[in-house]
Amino acid sequence: MKIYEIKAKRIIQPTKIPGADWVINHYSGCNHGCVYCYARFICRWRKKREKWGEFVDVKINAPELVARESRNKKGRVILCSVSDPYQPIERKYRLTRKVLQNLNSELAVSILTKSSLIIDDIDVFRRFKKIELGLTITTLNEKVRQAFEPFSSSASQRLQALRELKKAGFYTYAFVGPILPYLTELEEIFREVGPYVDILMFEDLNMSPARADIMKVVADHFPHLVERYRSLSVEFWERKVEEIEELSVKYHQKVKIYFKHTGTLRFS
């Protein structure tokens, strides 16, 4: 893993991510190394030839930039879109914590992570009048998690983090994305995760950014699914929408669905 300390010229950027106005990427790159991650597109603009998961740019002046740039901002800001704000190097840099300490507390904040490190900043979260805290949970099966998300927190650690955040009184959500076909057990997630979140969000698997890597993991760890992954269709995802809607009624759980394949993912 190569870590580069750099200085950014600007840190708060407008975004078309649904439900957000601004995004802060104080880290660029991620050492969670998730196989399916769409954010690997940033590699094409790097002069260095590292693969996704092999580098992280640390924008060490982010806290100072945030303090200045957020002063007159309004709306909702999300951390992050091309990284994870609580990836392992946060233990060393505490950059996410510093960014939050300097961010205009009148802004609404949305944080999504795959790491149980998020609970370390409960005290800082209380600065904000509006804040939502999310954990990505693609599976509760450790074999599947280790295959696709090798350096992230375990599923049980993420579930415990959601319990603690909800107990502390925060608005919480689980981002079930991407759904891993034939591997993500949706009803198990509704049953086990639902009690600790205000909403469950779902995203389909976009194979395009990392098709070869995804198929290699499937072939190496779940060879019986290779042909099924090759033949994924819009109809498959339409059935998943129906399943989510039925489970939402069964478990009295609020949901949002962001599926590229069925047109429910919209960027305004």
Question: How far apart are alpha carbons 239 and 7 in whole angstroms?
Answer: 46
For residues 87-109, give the mean pLDDT.
Answer: 97
Question: How far apart are alpha carbons 172 and 200 in whole angstroms?
Answer: 9
pLDDT exceeds cutoff 80 at 219: yes
Closest to 189 measured CA to CA, from 164, 162, 211, 165: 162
Question: How far apart are alpha carbons 229 and 219 in whole angstroms?
Answer: 10
8 Å CB contact between 183 and 141: yes
108-113 and 131-136 strand pairing: parallel
Q: Which residue shows structure tokens 């290699």?
A: 216
Residue 6 lies inside a defined structural domain of this protein: yes
Residue 265 lies inside a defined structural domain of this protein: no
The DSSP 8-state label assigned to residue 22 in this structure reads E
For residues 10-28, give the mean pLDDT.
Answer: 94
| Nearest 10 degrees: Cα torsion 42, 45, 48, 54 | 0
Question: How far apart are alpha carbons 251 and 88 in whole angstroms?
Answer: 34
Residue 47 lies inside a defined structural domain of this protein: yes
**Domain tally, the chain:** 1
The DSSP 8-state label assigned to residue 50 in this structure reads P
Domain with 85 in it: 2-258
Question: Please, which pLDDT band fits residue 250 given cuts at 50, 70 and 90?
Answer: very high
Question: Please, which pLDDT band fits residue 48 given cuts at 50, 70 and 90?
Answer: low
Residue 250 lies inside a defined structural domain of this protein: yes
8 Å CB contact between 253 and 247: yes
Q: Cα 212 vs. chain centroid, distance in angstroms? A: 21
Question: What residues are paired with 76 via a beta bridge?
Answer: 108
Question: Please, which pLDDT band fits residue 267 given cuts at 50, 70 and 90?
Answer: very low
**Predicted local distance difference test score (pLDDT) of residue 187:** 98
**Predicted local distance difference test score (pLDDT) of residue 18:** 83
pLDDT in tens, 141-195: 999 999 999 999 999 999 999 999 999 999 999 999 999 999 999 999 999 999 9
8 Å CB contact between 84 and 50: no
Residue 150 lies inside a defined structural domain of this protein: yes
Mean pLDDT of the chain, nearest integer:
93
Closest to 26 measured CA to CA, from 122, 121, 94: 94
Alpha helices in the chain (DSSP H): 62-69, 90-93, 95-102, 122-125, 142-148, 155-167, 186-193, 211-221, 226-230, 234-250
Residue 266 lies inside a defined structural domain of this protein: no
Name the pTM for this structure. 0.92
Q: In Å, how far are 177, 190, 211, 212 from 37, measured between CA atoms?
A: 10, 23, 10, 12
pLDDT in tens, 62-73: 999 999 999 999
**Predicted local distance difference test score (pLDDT) of residue 268:** 38
Residue 90 lies inside a defined structural domain of this protein: yes
81-85, 195-199, 233-237: which has the minimum mean pLDDT? 81-85
Residue 164 lies inside a defined structural domain of this protein: yes
User: What CATH number did the domain enclosing 171 receive?
Assistant: 3.80.30.30
Closest to 180 measured CA to CA, from 220, 147, 134, 157: 147
